[in-house]
Amino acid sequence: MWLSEDEYIALKTQAKNCGLSQQKYLRFLINNIRPKEQPPMQFFDVLKELRQINVNMNQIAMRANTMNFIDAPFYRDCNRKLQEAVGKIMDAVY
């Protein structure tokens, strides 16, 4: 396959932005899969924080359940919403 210099630079840049080799990037395109660019590092920092919040919520729930003073349906609803938010973030990126 022959590419002009501009086309080659575009291919090289787009593959790099997706974290793929040029060959793998082209294979995706041939199979009608448009690779997404890798998210910025801040995305992973935020995702890590969201996961830690989830861990904390689970710890709080376990302690509260042993002491009988938490509104369990409210907690489950909050936890569900957090999981959905993480899922939406992941879907947007991958």
For the stretch 1-18, pLDDT in tens is: 899 999 999 999 999 999
- pLDDT given at position 48: 83
- Does the pLDDT at position 58 exceed 90? no
The more confidently predicted of residues 66 and 16 is 16
- Does the pLDDT at position 72 exceed 80? no
- Measured between alpha carbons, how far is 30 from 75 in angstroms, rounded to an integer? 46
- pLDDT given at position 29: 96
- pLDDT-derived band at 76 (thresholds 50, 70, 90) equals confident
Joined together, the tokens standing for residue 86 give 């993480």
3-state SS of the chain is CCCCHHHHHHHHHHHHHHCCCHHHHHHHHHCCCCCCCCCCHHHHHHHHHHHHHHHHHHHHHHHHHHHCCCCHHHHHHHHHHHHHHHHHHHHHHC
* Straight-line distance from the first to the last Cα atom of the chain, in angstroms, rounded to the nearest whole number: 29
